[in-house]
Every structure is written in C-alpha cells, then in structure tokens.
A = this chain, B = another copy of it.
Amino acid sequence: MTPPPPILEDSDAEALRLQLARVFLRKMSTHAPLTEAEADVLLAMPVRPRRIAARAPILLEGATSDGAYVLLEGHAYRFKLLADGSRQILSFHLPGDVIDLDSALLGVSDHGLAALTAVHVAQLPHDAILAAVAAHRGIARAFWRETLVEAAIFREWLLNLGRRDAYARVAHLLCEMAVRAEAAGVGRADRFELPATQSELADATGMTPVHVNRTLQRLRGDGLVETRGSEVRIANWRGLVDAGGFDPTYLHLNAGD
C-alpha cells in the first residue's frame, strides 16, 4: 500500500523532525493541548518530505492520495476549475497548515492543490493519521479542530464573494493574510509576504486580474497598503479593517474560541 519513505541521511531526517516540531507541532498545539506523548507520536509519524517548484501542482482534482500534506515552507493554494477553464482559488496556505486533510476520510479529492512559491511539504500517511487519531484524543481534537477552523474560513470567504464589493473583498483578503501570517510566525501583521500574482488574487476573490489591479491601486491611493514585489505592507491597519469589514473571530486563533 504505502510506498516506503525515501531514505534520508540522518542529518536530513533530524532537520525534518525539527521543522515538523517548529511548524506543525506549533500549529496543532494551538488547537488542543497535547501531552508530551502525543507530541512524540506526531513527530514520530513516518513522513515523506517532498519539494515542489513554484506554481507546480501538488495534487490534482479527482486524484486520490495516500497521505495528507503538512506545509513546512512556502505558500500553497487550493483551487477548483470550471469547464470553461476559469479557476476559483479556495484558500491560501501558510507553513503549519495541514492542507489535504480531506483525503484522509473522503477519498477522491474534489479540488486541486498547487504551490504558489517553491514549497517544502511533509506527507503524513493516512493510516498513520488515523491510527494517531484513534489512539490519542488530543491529536483527534487537533485534527478535527483544524478542519473546523478551515470550514470557518470558507464561510467567511463565502460572505466575501457573495456580499462584499471588489474593494472590500481585496481589503478583507489582505487583512486575513496579515493576521494569519503573523499567527503562523512567517511575518508581521503589518508586513508580510503574499506571493500571489494579481491573476491569482483575482481567482481568489472572484474578480478579473484587471479589476484586481485597479482595486489595489485604489487601496494604495487611499493610503491603506503598499506593495513591493510580493511583500505587502499595511500602512493603515484600521482603515483596511474598516474597508474590508474584517473581524478576525472566524479565524479562531485562540484555542478557546
């Protein structure tokens, strides 16, 4: 069934474990208090590391996989395609996110997964996930809560696409990515990397690239944000929050709420 994990130099294996601890354990701990034994179980999982080039697919819609991906480095996104070729980006992902957890219980993937930048992922075999979940309630809670928070983010995006205009949509997306970047430890709320092209931002916000461009110009002109390459600097947090109607409750960043 599961192909054996590739052979790693001891030093590589050690580096991978450290990265898992720093990125993955950190994220899981925000969901549920983990006992030391549970943390050890997570770190001892037989992960398969994999590097993917920027813009390359990680998993295609309709495919099955035998493991879920933990994003260790880089940015990734999930998407769906329409028959006419148009694309909807469903979510952006930062280090620590478990991206393909659906596949653990759902079989055929109903969406695609791709790298935004060069990406380093670790694949957790489904059987290892299910075994860990069955044996440890803290791990079960953490995975379940990861799914619940993800669903909450989808709900907020539904509101964004369904009821906010272009200006608010882009502002809201920037607010979310700012807060999540800081929470993931890969940036600050007022200065972070968002390595998405305007086309990709368009596919995330249900707009066209041209209109994303004009909208960003307005946001810059209004003194709310500045961009330099893929770096976003938020010049007026309060103004951006107002513009986007942003309320971070739905991110459920505190284990309690």
* Residues of A in contact with B (beta carbons under 8 Å apart): 31, 62, 78, 80, 82-83, 86-88, 90, 101-102, 105-108, 110-111, 133-134, 137, 140-141, 143-145, 147-152, 154-159, 161-164, 203, 205-206, 245, 249-250, 252, 254, 256-257
From known contacts A90-B155, A134-B137, A163-B206, infer whether A106 and B144 are also in contact, taking CB-CB under 8 Å: no
Q: Are A106 and B147 in contact (CB under 8 A)?
A: no
Q: Are A90 and B145 in contact (CB under 8 A)?
A: no
Contacts of A162 in B (CB 8 A): 88, 161, 203, 205-206
Q: Are A161 and B158 in contact (CB under 8 A)?
A: yes
User: A145 to B145, alpha carbons, bound, how many Å?
Assistant: 12
Contacts of A83 in B (CB 8 A): 245
User: A107 to B78, alpha carbons, bound, how many Å?
Assistant: 27
From known contacts A137-B134, A144-B147, infer whether A106 and B159 are also in contact, taking CB-CB under 8 Å: no
Q: Are A143 and B144 in contact (CB under 8 A)?
A: yes
From known contacts A147-B151, A148-B101, A155-B90, infer whether A107 and B163 are also in contact, taking CB-CB under 8 Å: no
Q: How many whole Å from A195's CB to the nearest CB in chain B?
A: 21
Q: Are B80 and A155 in contact (CB under 8 A)?
A: yes
Q: Are A152 and B106 in contact (CB under 8 A)?
A: yes
Contacts of A148 in B (CB 8 A): 101-102, 105-106, 147
Q: How many whole Å from A256's CB to the nearest CB in chain B?
A: 5
Q: Are B154 and A108 in contact (CB under 8 A)?
A: no
Among A111, A159, A162, A206, residue most surrounded by chain B Cβ atoms (within 10 Å)? A162
If A105-B144, A133-B144 are given as contacts, then 6 extra A-B residue pairs at C-beta distance below 8 Å, sorted by A number, are A62-B249, A80-B155, A80-B158, A88-B158, A144-B147, A150-B151
User: A248 to B162, alpha carbons, bound, how many Å?
Assistant: 22
Contacts of A86 in B (CB 8 A): 163
